[in-house]
Structure 1
Amino acid sequence: MKVLHVNAGLENGGGLTHIINLLKQAKSEQQDFSLLCLSDGPVAQAARAAKIKVHVLGITSRYDLRSLKKLTEFINNGDYQIVHTHGARANLFVSLIRRKITAKWCITIHSDPYLDFADRGLSGKLFTKINLSAIRKADCIFAVTKRFADLVVKKAKVKAEKVHVIYNGTFFHQDSEIPAKYEHPNFNIVNVARTEKVKGQDLLLKALKELNNANVHLFIAGDGSQLKALKDLAQKLNLGPQVTFQGFMTHKQLKNLYRRMDLAVLTSYSESFPLVLLEASDNLLPLLSTAVGDINMMIPDKEHGFVAQIGDVSSICSALEQAISMPQKQLKEMAYLEKNYVVKHFSLHQQLDSILRVYDAIL
C-alpha cells in the first residue's frame, strides 16, 4: 500500500509531533509512507532529521492555488493509493483536486475545526466554512478524540461511517532508559505548551498565586503570542522568583528538564489528546490536566493522575494542592501506574495498526 501524507509544512507543535512519529513508526514497520509538505519549514526539517521520505511542493504563499496542477501530477504520477491530509490548508488543496486524483482521501482532525480560526474575525469564519466543506468531501476522517468525532458527525453532518476515533500514540521507553531524577529543593511543576490563550497558562499562574506556597516552582516551556503577557502577569502577581519561562525547547532539552520535575501540568481550555502528557508520563512524571478532550481516556481515575475543571482557577489550585501534599513515594507510584496504563493503550504501533485497518477497508 502506497500512502502519501500531506501537510502545509508550517506546523510546530502537537501536529508536527503526530505526523513525524506516525511516519517514523510506519518506516520501522516497513510501510510505504511518504510525506509531502506544501512549503519548506519545521515539518520537512523534522522529517529530514528523522530520515523520513519527504518531498516539498515549493508553494511560496499561503494560498497559492496555482500549484494545484503540480499537486495533482505529484499524486497521480506517484501512484499513491491513499492521500492523507493534516491541517486546513492541506485539506483545502486536496479538496480542490479531489475529482482529478485516483487515490482515496483521508483527513486527520487534530483540533476542533470550529475553533481553529475563531480569533480571525470574518476571515476566520470563511476559513472555517471552507475547511468544513473539505472535511465533508473526504473518504474517511480520523478524529483524535471522540468529542471531535461526535462534532463532525452531529454538527458538521459528516456520515458517521466515515469517521474513526484514533487516539494519538507516542514512543515509550523502558523505565531503565529514563535518566535518574536530579535532587532539587523545591516542588517543580512543568507546563509544556505553546504560550497561546487556548493553553490557559494564565489560569496556572493565578492558581499558583492562590496556592501561596513559595516552595512550588513553575517552569513554562513554550513560545507564542502570549509569552510577554504571561511574563507581565507573573510579575503583577509577584510570582517572579517562582516562575521560569524556558521558551521553546527541543525534545532533548525537555528530557533533561524532566529530570528536575515533580509534576507535569496542562491547564488548557481546549485540547485533543495531548501528546505532551504522554511524553511526560514516559519520563515518569505524574500528570495534572484540565478536563479537556478525551483526557478521561488518558487519566481514567484518581489513582492515575489529577484532573481539574476547565477554566476554573480554584479547581486547578485544589488539584495542585493534592499533588503537592501527596507523599513523594505515593506520587512516584502514581507515575509508574500511569505509565504502565498508557503504554498498554497508546503506543504508536497500536495507532498505526488502527489506521492501516481503515485504509484497507476504504480500498
Structure 2
Amino acid sequence: MKVLHINAGLEKGGGLFHVVNFLTQAKKEQADFELLTLAEGPVSKAAKKRGIKTTVLGSQSRYNLTSLSKLIKFINEGNFDIVHTHGPRANLYLSLIRKRIQAKWVITVHSDPLKDFKERGLLGKAFTNLNLKALQKADGIFAITQNFADILNEKIGIDKTKICVIYNGIFFHDNSKIARKFAHPYFNIINVGRQEPLKGQDVLLKAIKKLDNPNIRVHLVGDGSKENYLKALARDLGISQQVIFHGFLTQKETSELYRKMNLAVLTSYSESFPLVLLEAADNLVPILSTSVGDIKKMIPNENYGFIAPIGDIAAISEQLDHAINTDPVALKEMAKKEKNYLSQTFSMRNQYLVITNYYRYLLKNNRSEQNGN
C-alpha cells in the first residue's frame, strides 16, 4: 500500500505535528508513505529533519492553480493507492483533479470546517464553500473528534459511512527522560497556541484579572493576528507585569519552558483534540481546558485535570483558582495519573493502526466494486 500525504506546508502548529508525527510512525513501521507539500515551509523542513521522504511541489502563491498538472502527474506516475490531504488548500487542489487521478482520496478534518475562515468576511465565506465542496467529493474522511464527525454528517450532509473518527496522538516519553522541574517563585501558567480569535486567550487574561492574584504569571507561546490586541488588553486590565509573550517557540524551546510550569491552560472556543495539551501532559504539567471538542476523552473526570465551560470567564477563573489552591504534591500526582492514562490511550501507534485499517477498508471496497461484487 503506497500512500501520499499532502499539506500546504506553511502550518506551524498542531497540523504540522499531526502530519509529521504520523509519518514518523509510518516510517518506524516501514510503511511506504511519503509527504508532498505545496510550498517549502515548516512542514517540509520538519519532515525532512525526521528522514521522511518529502517532495515540495513549489506553488508560487497560496491559490495559484498552475501546479495542478504537475500534481496529477506526480500522483499517477507514483502509483499511489491513497492520497491523504490535510487542510483546506490541499483539499481544494485534490477536489479539482479528483477525476484525473487513480488513487483513493481521504481527508483529515483537523478543525471545524464551518469556522476555519469565520473572521475573513466574504473571502472567508468563499473559501469555506470551496472546502465544504471538497469534503463532499472525498472517498473518506477522518474526523479528529466525534463532535467534528457529527458536524460533517448533520450540518454538511456527509454520509456517516464515509467518516472515521480518530484521536490525535503523540510520542510520549518515559518520565525518566523528562527534564527535571526547577524551583520558581510564581504559579506559572502556560498557554500554547496561535493568537487568533478561536483560541480565546482574551478570555484567559480576563479570568486572570478576576482572580486578582499577583503571584500568577501567564506565559503565552505563539503568534498570530491578535497578538497586539492581547498585549493591549493585558495593559488595559492592569496585568501586563503578569503576562509574558514568548512569541513562536520551537517544540524544544517549549519543552524547556514546561520545566517551570504549574499548569497548562487552553481557553479555546473551538478545538479538535488539542495536541498542545497532550504535549503538556507528556511534560508532567497538569491541564485545564474549556469543554471543546471531545476534551472529556482527554480529561475523563476531575482526578485527571480541570474543565470549564467555553467562554465562561467566571467558571474559568474558578477552575484556575481551584488548581492554584490544590496542594502542590496532589497537583503533581494528578499530572502523573493523566500522563499514564493518555500515553496508554492516545499514542501514535494507536493512531497509526486506526488510520491504516481504514485505508485497507477503502481499498478492499474499491477492489470489490471493480470486480462487480
Q: Normalised by the size of structure 2, how large is the TM-score? A: 0.96
Q: Secondary structure at the match of 1:351?
A: helix
Query: Which residue of structure 2 lines up, in the alignment, with residue 141 of structure 1?
Result: 141
- Structure 2 CA distance, aligned partners of 1:22 and 1:119? 30
Deviation at 1:240, TM superposition (A): 1.9
Paired residue type of 1:311: G
What per-residue deviation string (whole Å, max 9, x for no partner) do you get for residues 110-162 of structure 1? 00000111112122111111111111111100000101101111111111111
Query: Which residue of structure 2 lines up, in the alignment, with residue 88 of structure 1?
Result: 88
- Structure 2 CA distance, aligned partners of 1:122 and 1:313? 31
Query: Which residue of structure 2 lines up, in the alignment, with residue 242 of structure 1?
Result: 242
Corresponding position: 1:348 with 2:339: no
Query: Which residue of structure 2 lines up, in the alignment, with residue 5 of structure 1?
Result: 5
Q: Secondary structure at the match of 1:58?
A: coil
Query: Which residue of structure 2 lines up, in the alignment, with residue 116 of structure 1?
Result: 116
Q: CA RMSD in A?
A: 0.8
Query: Which residue of structure 2 lines up, in the alignment, with residue 196 of structure 1?
Result: 196
Query: Which residue of structure 1 lines up, in the alignment, with residue 371 of structure 2?
Result: none
Deviation at 1:31, TM superposition (A): 0.8
Identity %: 57
What per-residue deviation string (whole Å, max 9, x for no partner) do you get for residues 274-315 of structure 1? 000000000001000000111011001000000011001101
Deviation at 1:344, TM superposition (A): 1.1
Q: Secondary structure at the match of 2:247?
A: coil
Deviation at 1:260, TM superposition (A): 0.4
- Structure 1 CA distance, aligned partners of 2:127 and 2:186? 46
Matches within 5 A, 1:165-184: 165-184=165-184
Query: Which residue of structure 2 lines up, in the alignment, with residue 37 of structure 1?
Result: 37
Paired residue type of 1:194: R
Deviation at 1:26, TM superposition (A): 0.6
- Structure 2 CA distance, aligned partners of 1:123 and 1:244? 34
- Structure 1 CA distance, aligned partners of 2:280 and 2:45? 24
Matches within 5 A, 1:230-309: 230-309=230-309
Q: Structure 2: any 5+ residue segments left out of the alignment?
A: 364-373
- Structure 1 CA distance, aligned partners of 2:61 and 2:179? 43
Q: Secondary structure at the match of 1:97?
A: helix
Query: Which residue of structure 1 lines up, in the alignment, with residue 224 of structure 2?
Result: 224
Deviation at 1:13, TM superposition (A): 0.8
Deviation at 1:70, TM superposition (A): 0.7
Range with bigger deviation, 176-185 or 121-130: 121-130
- Structure 2 CA distance, aligned partners of 1:280 and 1:296? 16
Paired residue type of 1:255: S
Matches within 5 A, 1:99-114: 99-114=99-114
Paired residue type of 1:34: E
Paired residue type of 1:20: V
Q: Secondary structure at the match of 2:340?
A: helix
- Structure 1 CA distance, aligned partners of 2:188 and 2:65? 48
Deviation at 1:59, TM superposition (A): 0.8
- Structure 1 CA distance, aligned partners of 2:224 and 2:126? 24
Corresponding position: 1:66 with 2:66: yes
Corresponding position: 1:48 with 2:56: no
Deviation at 1:29, TM superposition (A): 1.1
Query: Which residue of structure 2 lines up, in the alignment, with residue 127 of structure 1?
Result: 127
What per-residue deviation string (whole Å, max 9, x for no partner) do you get for residues 168-222 of structure 1? 0001000111111001111111011111111111111111110011111111111
